[in-house]
Structure 1
Amino acid sequence: MDTTQAGVLIVIGLLGGLWNAVAGGATLFTFPALMAAGLPPVVANATNYLALLPSNAAALPAYREELQDLGKQLLPLLLVSGLGAITGSVLLLVSDPAVFVTLIPFLILFATGLFAFGDALRSWLLRSAGDNGGHLAVYSALFVSSIYGGYFGAGLGIILLAIAQLMGFSDFHVANSVKNLLASSFTLLSVAVFGVGGLIAWPQAIAMMVGSVIGGYAGGRLAKRVNARYLRGAVIVFGLVLTLVYFLRAFGN
């Protein structure tokens, strides 16, 4: 990796951290940027986890009081989501890279759909479960969602927020604190699996991480001043364009 490439990745990381703090969805452009830097798709995906970890964890200090109040209630959630994340990460580690390449357009389309219809999906899940939503079903949904999170993960925050509310954390800020904790914890586990498996390109990850730290901090200060609706709209449009590009790459011949 030369100086120019490192500079570009720092800038992309900065934009990613900023975007995650304000609107979410940075993976939809940081992951392709890492592939454009010459990393194989599976390595780019694994490297992206580490690169965006600071921006994913940046919100935790703000929710310290909410998390302290929950205490031991968080342990089973962390255990289930952690097992799911490790399962998804190991699947990525041991599967044929060609399978992941084939799945890329579908994963990006799914993630884009989560951003586009996330609020409606969350409302539907809450209405469907109601008072009859059993904990076993919700824990199963958390496990399956965490497998996706360990394998690719873009857009997962929307599902985690709904699951936290289904678990009985009805206050939005409490549910959001649970979502951020779960996302950060299984990202760490995925990074550990990918690191042991040799999938992380460390120089590229560190360069992008430097940018994401700066971007996450700046985004936290700007989040309340920017209309996130327009930014989320831009994420959705970009995600659809990426989906088309990767569909053509995978199936155009």
Structure 2
Amino acid sequence: MPFLDTILLFLAGFVSGAVNAVAGGGTFITFGAMSLAGIPPIAASATSAVTQLPGYITSTLAYWSDIKTFWRGALLLCAISAVGALAGSMILLALDNPSFRVMVPWLLIAATALFAAGPWLKPKPKSGSEESVGSFTGSLVQFITAIYGGFFGAGMGVMMLASLGLTQAGDYHRLNALKNMLAVVIATIAITVFASGGVIAWGPALVMVPSGALGGYAGVWIAKRVPQSAVRAFVVATGVFLAIYYFATG
């Protein structure tokens, strides 16, 4: 990779990690940087899944005490998420870059709108038993969300947290723990499919994964000093810029 592209991707990984730690939406940053570096959209989307996986894993581990209370009941949702992610990632592989490029700006607009609405979509605490993790409605909604996550991960976390809030019992932290657990499953399946299809740009991934880890650590410092609304505004502006970029160059 050219030196300037390497610097761009390293900084994007760092910013992505920091943004995820504060407000979420780091996929917009990594996808956008790879697009500007000339990486085809399918490879950029697939590689973004790789860059986000470490964060999903560490977030899941941070919630381990919560997960231990419901993981057996969540196995069905994990299996459904795996099947949905497999379907979504296979759909992406079935497309060529020109076809996917036409879809990207519309996907970005939808994901940006969803992310912008995130504060109003946060789940409200509700009573109920942990058995609701296996409900039919919850399973169906999670399957659809997993298809989207396997196909195009931007905004997946917001979408999943909102849908879990409508279909599952428990407080915010329990729902967030479940969301992180399912995100690991979705990302792992998608990465496996993308790797087998040879569409992951491993060079950029190797640059952004460690810088993303550094950014995640720095995000704790940022969260104490920068309003979350300002970070969310930055992510939304990035999503709008990328949509305009893809409309203009499509």
Q: What's the TM-score once normalised by structure 1's chain length? A: 0.88
Map of 1:148 onto structure 2: 148
Query: What is the CA RMSD across the aligned residues, in angstroms?
Result: 2.3
Which whole-Å CA distance do the structure 2 matches of 1:182 and 1:123 have between them? Answer: 17
Over residues 183-241 of structure 1, what are the superposed CA-to-partner deviations in whole Å (9 max), with x where a residue is unaligned? 12211111111001100111111111111111112224543443111110221122223
The residue type equivalent to 1:146 in the other structure is: A
The residue type equivalent to 2:188 in the other structure is: L
Map of 1:131 onto structure 2: none
Map of 2:73 onto structure 1: 73
Map of 1:95 onto structure 2: 95
Percent identity of equivalent pairs: 37
Map of 1:57 onto structure 2: 57
Which whole-Å CA distance do the structure 2 matches of 1:44 and 1:168 have between them? Answer: 33
Unaligned runs of 5+ in 2: 127-133
Q: What's the TM-score once normalised by structure 2's chain length? A: 0.89
Aligned residues of 1:85 and 1:149 also touching (Cα < 8 A): yes
Aligned residues of 1:13 and 1:52 also touching (Cα < 8 A): no
Q: Which moved more, 1:208-217 or 1:192-201?
A: 208-217
Over residues 38-90 of structure 1, what are the superposed CA-to-partner deviations in whole Å (9 max), with x where a residue is unaligned? 21111111111112222232212220100011131110110111111111001
Map of 1:18 onto structure 2: 18
Q: Which runs of 4+ in 1 moved over 6 A?
A: none
Unaligned runs of 5+ in 1: 127-133
Map of 2:86 onto structure 1: 86
Which whole-Å CA distance do the structure 2 matches of 1:225 and 1:179 have between them? Answer: 26
Q: 1:61 to 1:157 in 2, by over 3 A?
A: same
Whether 1:233 aligns to 2:243 is: no
Which whole-Å CA distance do the structure 2 matches of 1:45 and 1:168 have between them? Answer: 29
Equivalent pairs counted in the alignment come to: 244
Q: 1:33 to 1:95 in 2, by over 3 A?
A: same
